[in-house]
Amino acid sequence: MLVKQRRPRGFPPGPSPIPVIGNIMSLATEPHVFMKKQSEIHGQIFSLDLGGYSAVVLNGYDAIRECLYHQGDVFSDRPSLPLFMKMTKMGGLLNAKFGNGWIEHRQLARNSFRYFGSFQKPLDQKILEECMFFVDAIDEHKGKPFNPKHLVTNAVSNITNLIIFGERFTYDNCDFQHMIEIFSENVELAVSGWAFLYNAFPWIEYLPFGKHQKLFRNAAKVYNFLEQIIRRFSEGRVCNFPRHYIDDYLNKLDKSAGDLGTPYSRENLIYSVGELIIAGTETTTNTLRWAMLYMALYPNIQEKVHMELDSVLGSEKSPSLADKKRMPYVEAVLHEVLRFCNIVPLGIFRATTQDTLVSGYNIPKGTMVITNLYSVHFDEKYWCDPGTFSPHRFLDSNGNFVRREAFLPFSLGKRHCLGEHLARMEMFLFFTTMLQRFHLQFPPGTVPSLTPKLGMTLQPLPYSICAVRRQQ
């Protein structure tokens, strides 16, 4: 259970709370920035009062590595927040409690990524096929302004769709698009003030107003859609010949029939499918949308990307993963987008599995832990001038790509992102295919806002862009 006591003995210090609601109000705008500022006052490890329960916030690379890596087992749970309990009953995969159920679901998903990703054809070739649909759809705009959000979302989600359902969905599939839209709205609402209030005072469920009600309605619609689609794609299943993740899951479920301790269930299948779809879509889509925006904003950086693409690929050859080593500048740009834009600024909330001691502070079992990944990417100890967008920080003096230690967009430790490998493939292939064909620029006289839209992920506000065919 959550630590309900306000600041137990030896607990990290933190900002003074307001009676009843604690520090919730301070999280309304840019909570990651607020938390980094607080760490300059209270230290890298401090605490917040979230209206009757306490959370520990980890800031900067050193503190996050100490907890997530050196005390990996201790910091690998998810907090039993009322909202998460209501949404997934702490089952599924992403929100599952640390234990056997999580291990089994993570393994099953990882095996599916490997097996169904490369079923019949290598995964990079499948991604390239989607890249072609994607650039052809962009071409339909004929260089005129368009908002790339829906196109990028559809193309990216199709990669996880191939693994989960064995099929891609066409870009005009309104039902699927609507599901993704309201699911992604929930990713935003899950860290809204109303969500924190619901976690502190679950009885507000009975108030007829508030954004948490919207969140519940959206979730009901999403689960209903997923239930139907899972039923449709499991038709014709033949035991021992799984065609996709759903077949594989249902085979496991059949095999564990009668085992009272099994974590496999129809309900957990729905939760896992939903989590894989949204975790895979929202993040990679936002990274690519930011990458497009920054290319148009910095034509000199875009020009260097074009020069590298032209020298390695020319205009005809499609990019492949094997080309990645020969494209250090592209790699540097994508890494800088991930660092600078902080796609998942506060990670996914963690919790402690046992009492522990960190930097002299006592952190009891069940404490909610917030990992401020933004503060890692803006940690002055590890990054020079972190507030400047500069791909060069990932290059050495000879132009070779260099890995940087304090780079954690996928987090760290046992719960680190399961889809990192897949996401890296997608980002490289979508980005290179798009920039090989197009020059990106803003419609004349416009420069979009760089202020992110807040939520569990940071995404750009809607913007228009022109993708003009390149003459090579």
Interaction site with ligand HEM (CB under 6 A): 93-94, 106, 160, 275-276, 279-280, 283-284, 287, 343-344, 347-348, 350, 371, 409-411, 415-419, 422-423
Q: How far is the CB of 345 from ligand HEM (least distance, A)?
A: 9
Judged by beta carbon, residue 54 or residue 411, the one nearer ligand HEM is 411
Q: How far is the CB of 372 from ligand HEM (least distance, A)?
A: 11
Q: At what angle do helices 245-255 and 100-117 cross, to 10 degrees?
A: 140
**Cα(446)–Cα(21) distance, integer angstroms:** 41
Helices (H) and strands (E) in the chain, counts: 15, 10
Q: How far is the CB of 411 from ligand HEM (least distance, A)?
A: 3
Q: How far is the CB of 118 from ligand HEM (least distance, A)?
A: 15
Provide long-range contacts, Cβ within 8 A and 24+ apart, for 256-261: 261/100
Residue in the shown chain whose Cβ atom is closest to ligand HEM: 419
Judged by beta carbon, residue 12 or residue 409, the one nearer ligand HEM is 409
Helix residue ranges per DSSP H, 326-458: 328-341, 373-377, 420-437
Q: Which candidate, 231, 239, 258, 261, places its Cα nearest to that of 104?
A: 261
Q: How far is the CB of 429 from ligand HEM (least distance, A)?
A: 13
Q: Which candidate, 376, 402, 443, places its Cα nearest to that of 32?
A: 376
Judged by beta carbon, residue 21 or residue 190, the one nearer ligand HEM is 190
Judged by beta carbon, residue 21 or residue 163, the one nearer ligand HEM is 163
**Cα(47)–Cα(58) distance, integer angstroms:** 9
Q: How far is the CB of 313 from ligand HEM (least distance, A)?
A: 23
Judged by beta carbon, residue 2 or residue 279, the one nearer ligand HEM is 279
Rounded alpha-carbon distances, angstroms, from residue 95 to 105, 268, 274: 11, 11, 11
* Main-chain dihedrals φ then ψ at residue 399, nearest 5 degrees: 80, 10
**Cα(263)–Cα(160) distance, integer angstroms:** 23
CA angle, residues 65, 28, 153, in degrees to nearest 5? 75
Rounded alpha-carbon distances, angstroms, from residue 137 to 70, 142, 150, 295: 46, 10, 11, 19
Q: How far is the CB of 283 from ligand HEM (least distance, A)?
A: 3
Q: How far is the CB of 134 from ligand HEM (least distance, A)?
A: 16
Is residue 417 marked as binding? yes
Question: What H or E segment, with its residue span, contains residue 95?
Answer: none
Q: Which candidate, 173, 127, 50, places its Cα nearest to that of 324?
A: 127
Judged by beta carbon, residue 327 or residue 423, the one nearer ligand HEM is 423
Judged by beta carbon, residue 218 or residue 272, the one nearer ligand HEM is 272
Judged by beta carbon, residue 284 or residue 352, the one nearer ligand HEM is 284
Q: How far is the CB of 97 from ligand HEM (least distance, A)?
A: 10
Judged by beta carbon, residue 54 or residue 161, the one nearer ligand HEM is 161
**Cα(196)–Cα(212) distance, integer angstroms:** 9
**Cα(112)–Cα(436) distance, integer angstroms:** 31
* Inter-residue contact 409 to 344 (CB < 8 Å): yes
Instruction: Name the token pair of 183.
Output: 């699911």
Judged by beta carbon, residue 21 or residue 408, the one nearer ligand HEM is 408
- Neighbour tally for 146: CB within 10 Å: 18
**Cα(38)–Cα(58) distance, integer angstroms:** 11
**Strand ranges for 63-134 from DSSP E:** none
Judged by beta carbon, residue 106 or residue 243, the one nearer ligand HEM is 106
What distance, in Å, lies between the first and last C-alpha atoms of the chain? 61
DSSP string, 217-241: HHHHHHHHHHHHHHHHHHTT--TT-
Q: How far is the CB of 420 from ligand HEM (least distance, A)?
A: 7
Coil, helix or strand at residue 156: helix
Q: How far is the CB of 310 from ligand HEM (least distance, A)?
A: 26
Q: Which residues are annotated as a binding site for heme?
A: 417
